[in-house]
Amino acid sequence: MAANAEDFPGIAASTIITKTISSTSDLVYAKSAIQAAPAGNYILNITDTIAIGNTEANIIPAADTNISLRGGGTIHKSSGAGSPLFDLANSGSKLILRDATLKGHSGNNQSLVKVSTEFVMIGGEISGNNSESNSGAGVAVLGGTFTMGDGTIKDNNTTLGGGGLYIGLGGRFTMNGGEIVDNTAWDGSTTGTGGGIQIQDGTSVATIKNGLIARNAAKGTTDDGGGGIMIYGGSLTYEGGTIADNTTDSTSSSGSYNLRSTGGTFIDSTGLLPSGSGGFIY
């Protein structure tokens, strides 16, 4: 079975359950199975646009449960506030996004994917979400690991930090490809940090090896910045890829367009990135 090799290497094909998701009721049924013990291995083929609210969202896989989202369709959290689409909170749970879309709405006020265990993005899209009370409108890595090989995180906004992605509580992020583009961080008034990515605390680690981080914005007029990436703590190692055309509205010279670090460690392994107040890196 090809899906076994692609999504769940080392797991017997006989243990993988494939479900076609073409309606809200299909998703509700799958959610019930995914959240129940014992653990399972699930491939969800999303074949249509599934519009849901809080009741159907907040999918919390059981411990040691693996899920792969495929099929090219969309799960759209089009109403309700305060619930993510997926909350990877139970030990050993893993979500793979292969070629489906996870979409939010302007009043969701929560990340689309919360990661305390493991999230792998091989393709697909995470987009259109707004979070007014939580950092990381697209993805929030809260002590877990997120590996991005391809796909797009775009058009998300947070009023706190990390429009596309937030990394905190010792989280780990590796970007091998894909795009984090057109995200914003803005409270509607004066403050915005980490339009694309925000790395928050001293034990969080990010590595960028390839991919594109572009056209993200940290809006507001205070001394904030980091249109592309904001490092408050932890470390970021740059090994390749493109970080370009990110912006900030900050009137201060320290409002770096592409990357700003105020307390963490930035390592440019390539030695090619420019630096300077108000420019690429500050």
pLDDT at 226: 87
pLDDT at 223: 55
Query: Could you tell me the pTM of the whole model?
Result: 0.94
CA separation for the pair 268, 238 (Å, rounded): 5
CA separation for the pair 131, 166 (Å, rounded): 12
Encoded amino acid at 50, one letter: I
CA separation for the pair 259, 197 (Å, rounded): 9
CA-closest candidate to residue 42, choices 60, 25, 30, 58: 30
pLDDT digits (tens, 9 = 90+) for 10-33: 888 889 999 999 999 999 999 999
What count of other Cβ atoms lies within 10 Å of the Cβ of residue 219?
23
Radius of gyration over every alpha carbon of the chain, rounded to an integer in angstroms: 18
| 3-state SS assignment for residue 193 | strand
Which residues of the chain are modeled with pLDDT < 70? 1-5, 221-224, 250-256, 275-282
